Amino acid sequence: MTRVRLVIIPEAIDRPCIIDYNYQHSVASALFDLLRGTSYDDLHNKKSYKFFSFSRLYLDSLQTRKNGIEVLGGVTLWYSTPDDDLLDATISSLEETDSINIEGLPFRVLSVSKPFRYSNNRGEDTLISMSPVLVRSLVQKGEQTKQWEIAPDDDEYEEILVEKLKRKYSDFKNEDSDDLEVVSIWDVQRKMVRILDVWHRCYFYKIRLRGDPRLINFAYDCGLGEKNSMGFGMVRSALDGIPIQTLEHLKVTVK
């Protein structure tokens, strides 16, 4: 039940650092690359859940361009997993390297925080998305069954969201969970995200959950919805008290 905060800065200060608006796949690739040579070397080929999530990039200073986002300062990236061994392997690799590559651009690793731990024993919490949440439903189209992305105001959204979380929890823990209720979802913002050549309709929002504390903790650790390892569904607790960015980070500027 841990997460770390990674602060990076563009390495190539002699030329513009421009990343695609749809950078999630590139960040996921960078995180998988960190696992090369570890016991998780083949995690990217695993067909089922990867059991980690990461946040959107929090940029201190940027300039929007036609061809992407020009990074002008430090960048904060959050990484979370319920798998302590996976977290240890990721941290160890980050401590051994001085840079990671996003879209072929080197970023120098300035700092990796100590793991933050958060545990909910009350059975109720408000979670805030740090990356957009993706939820899909099976829809019958003629003789074919297709996956269709649904919105928080769809009738089946809350039920499917909880069911997917319970399924992930059962797969990871090898045990059943108790009930979980979505009390409310608000401050909804739609976002379209491209992963390779596929566009996904997903949502940032705040969500109030009530029920099995184990499921609330697991949502915090692993994320809500689908494709968590591609940068979807990471959440934070409104009560965890962890600053998203650091004061040292705010002082970093690319000259």
Q: pTM (2 decimals)?
A: 0.89
Task: Give the pLDDT of residue 14.
Answer: 58
pLDDT value for 252? 41
Q: Per residue in 174-206, is it b (16+ CB within 10 Å) or e — as a string?
A: eeebeebebeebeeeeeeebebeeeebbbbbbe
What CATH class is the domain 2-117+241-250?
alpha beta
Answer yes or no: same fold for 2-117+241-250 and 124-237.
yes
4-15: average pLDDT? 76
Confidence of residue 12 (pLDDT cuts 50, 70, 90): low
pLDDT at 248: 46
Looking at residue 231, its pLDDT comes to 96
Q: What is the DSSP letter of 192?
A: E
Each residue's pLDDT tens digit, 23-79:
999 999 999 999 999 999 999 998 899 999 999 999 888 889 999 999 888 889 999
Assess whether pLDDT exceeds 70 at residue 87.
yes
Phi and psi, residue 221, nearest 5°: -80, -40
Predicted local distance difference test score (pLDDT) of residue 13: 58
> What's the pLDDT score for residue 255?
38
pLDDT at 23: 94
The pLDDT assigned to 156 comes to 95
% of the chain surpassing 70 pLDDT: 93
Integer Cα distance of 219 and 78 in angstroms: 15
Average pLDDT over residues 185-213: 96
pLDDT at 104 over 70: yes
**Which tokens is 170 given?**
């059962």
58: left (phi over 0), alpha (psi -120 to 50) or beta: beta
Domain limits of the chain?
Answer: 2-117+241-250, 124-237
User: Average of pLDDT values for 215-243?
Assistant: 91
The SS3 of residue 34 is: coil
Q: What is each CA distance from 227 to 49, 69, 134, in whole angstroms?
A: 8, 23, 7
Query: What CATH number is given for 124-237 in this structure?
Result: 3.30.70.1900
pLDDT digits (tens, 9 = 90+) for 126-161: 999 999 999 999 887 777 788 899 999 999 999 999
Mean of all residue pLDDT scores within the chain: 89
pLDDT of residue 54: 95
Task: Tell me which residue of 135, 253, 251, 154 sits closest to 202, measured CA to CA.
Answer: 135
